Amino acid sequence: MEIARISLYPIAISRRTGVVNQHVIVRVEAGDGCIGWGEMSDLSHLPMYQFDLPQLEQSLNDLLRGKDARNLVAIEDDMLRFYPDEGHKYSRSGLARQGIDLAVHDLLARADGVPVSTLLGGQLRDRIKVCYPIFRMRSVGEVGPNLDRVQEMLGEGFDLIRLYVGANLEADELFLARFTDRFEGRVSIKSLDFSNLLGWRQAWRATQRLWPRWPILCSSRASRLRGILTAWASTAAAAPGPSPSTSITSITAGSS
């Protein structure tokens, strides 16, 4: 099954907060007319750093047109060589690889008339939990509305949230205290997400401050791995807090 054409479609989706997020839908068409769909998701983190979509579309066609869609290893190798990892979490080359990978898997599954899970070895479950994001609070005035948002989303079936923290620790602490009083046993916090906002020393102090209401995990705490692991190793035995093994898995991959 040869890849005949790749098309890219930019879309914009508004969040409830009013923020508009940019995405790119990927369409991969095979020579027999079968079509697969993928997505390059959430390009809005760095709004001034965007794809030249016509150029990207042409480049992807030049690279992959005529290639065997079933040779996933060869396609992945080509994509890694021409769109290598940029070394940070907002990698645009990573998004390009993501979109093609999703679309090609979708193409193959549709061609064979099976779910994508079958291509990956079989289905393990028929549903997964999706966490609802509570975005970073910059003032204590945002605590009440965000708690109300948790209540609203619980009514729609979301009993797991991801809490973005680090901009205002007073607001973060107040939210966590009131969240516990209001939702303990009914809603869980999947993660505290610092988004690499703080230096490792600040991130460490902030984590210790928020520790009494520890979530399932803590992600993107700091952009420098070595310093935060040093702090963790030196204090883990002396103070309550997440274990060193937890820290290694919760810091952005590729940090130095």
**Residue 9 annotated among the catalytic residues of the structure:** no
Closest CA to 192 of 239, 123, 241: 241
Residue 39 CB contacts under 8 Å (≥ 6 apart), including other chains: 23, 24, 25, 26, 98, 99, 102
Cα–Cα distance, 236 to 239 (Å, whole number): 6
Can you tell me which residue has the tokens 């991130």?
203
Q: Residue written as tokens 């107040």?
A: 174
- Looking up tokens 């599954």, which residue turns up? 109
What lies within 8 Å, CB to CB, of 248 at 6+ separation is: 229
Which residue in the block uniquely carries the two structure tokens 């099976």?
A: 114
Is 90 tagged catalytic? Answer: yes
How far is 107 from 75, CA to CA, in rounded Å?
13
Contact partners, residue 99, CB within 8 Å, separation at least 6: 8, 24, 26, 38, 39, 40
Q: How far apart are the first and last CA of the chain?
A: 41
Report the length, in residues, of the chain: 256
Return the DSSP state at 15.
-
Instruction: List active site positions.
Output: 90, 164
